[in-house]
Amino acid sequence: MQVDIKEIEEVAKTLYIRALKLLPTDIKQGFERLMRDETSTTGKTVLGTMVENIAVAERTKNLLCQDTGIPIYNIRIGRDVSLDGAAMKEAIRRGCERATKEHPLRSSVVHPITRKNEQTSCGIGVPVINIDFDERPETLEIEMIPKGSGSENGSFLQMLIPADGVGAVKRFVVDKVIECGGRVCPPTIVGVGIGGTSDVCMHLAKVAATRPLGSKCSDEEGAKIEAQLSEAVNELGIGPQGLGGRSTSFRVHVEVAATHITMNPVAVNIQCHSARRASATITPGGIAFA
């Protein structure tokens, strides 16, 4: 399959806007589950407002949240796909900028030192473009994640040592959830990375935070910790928006990677309740949005 670069630009633009307006089905179902289980009156009211907001965004065709985030594009290239990789990256950048100017969207991206906003949602290294490969024949998947900053500021890395054990990993996660309180816009998805190098660990946490609800860590030991921490954080009473209640998180997600004999790294990256993502799958049959 030969990929048309112009098509990638259009898809990159469309995905940014779609992601900002339509919440994925798994997250909507997550809200239904939390509404059933929430015992706090304030918690129920806050969740109710969030659910109402999802309906208002759909009805008025508006953005769910004003934070247009840091734009992240995850590219997965299957087998027998032919494309100009450098041109693809430029096309994604153009699509991201066009979404910002043509919709229009708030550009939330600034130079880290001068703080200058180019009003394009782009800058040095932004949009973030992650490229990976998989087995699917003649398939190119583009996933777009507008990562909100309130929850992105809830990011932490600790290079624990082997003597600290797995108990310290769990303690680190619970302590960070307590520290963040309502600032990260709960109910959240708490993404946890365990292992790897420092950068891999942080990336694992991001992958975990942006994974669909209902998915499970592929590593058996990781899945056990995922289940334990998911229970634990909802017993802290932080609740929706940190105003009290059970629904602190939809779920804790864990991703793992092998690490060094001297290392025991753990990372946390949090996703707010506006857990937005959109994807497009390009095959010889056409483009399917999800």
Enumerate binding residues for another protein (CB under 8 A). 42, 46, 49-50, 52-54, 56-57, 60, 62-68, 103-108, 115, 117, 119, 148-150, 153, 166-168, 170-171, 174-175, 178, 181-185, 228-229, 231-232, 235-244, 272-274
Residue 229 exposure: Cα atoms within 13 Å on the Cβ side: 32
Cβ neighbours for 93, distance < 8 A, ≥ 6 positions apart: 12, 122, 127
Nearer to another protein, 108 or 264 (CB): 108
135: exposed, middle or buried (Cβ count in 10 Å: 0-12, 13-18, 19+)? exposed
Query: Per DSSP, which regions of 7-127 are E strands?
Result: 70-79
Smaller CB separation from another protein, 6 or 33:
33
Structure tokens at 104: 């229009």
Output the smallest distance, CB 115 to another protein, in A: 7
Alpha-carbon span 175 to 172, nearest angstrom: 5
Shortest Å, Cβ 58 to another protein: 8
Decide whether 153 or 215 has the Cβ nearer to another protein: 153
Taking the complex as a whole, how short is the minimal distance between the CB of residue 60 and another protein, in angstroms? 6
Min dist CB 5 to another protein, Å, is 29
Question: What's the closest the beta carbon of residue 120 comes to another protein, in angstroms?
Answer: 13
> Encoding tokens for residue 273?
């309740």
- Residue 21 — left, alpha, or beta (φ > 0 → left; ψ -120 to 50 → alpha)? alpha
Q: Which is nearer to another protein, 137 or 162 (CB)?
A: 162
Write the single-letter amino acid at 280: A
Among residues 168, 179, 181, 169, the alpha carbon closest in space to that of 254 is found at 169
Q: In the complex with another protein, which residue's Cβ is closer, 89 or 170?
A: 170
Contact criterion met (CB below 8 Å) for 271 and 14: no
Q: Which residue, 210 or 274, is less far from another protein as judged by CB?
A: 274
Minimum Å distance from CB 245 to another protein?
A: 9
Q: Which of 101, 103, 191 is nearest to 147 (CA)?
A: 191
CB of 180 to another protein, least distance (A): 9
* CB nearer to another protein: pick between 14 and 68: 68
Q: Is 102 exposed, middle or buried, given 0-12, 13-18 or 19+ CB atoms closer than 10 A? A: exposed
Which CB atom, from 65 or from 204, has the smaller least distance to another protein?
65
For residue 289, what are its two tokens? 């949005």
CA-to-CA distance for 19 and 25, rounded, in angstroms? 12
Closest approach of Cβ 87 to another protein, in Å?
Answer: 30
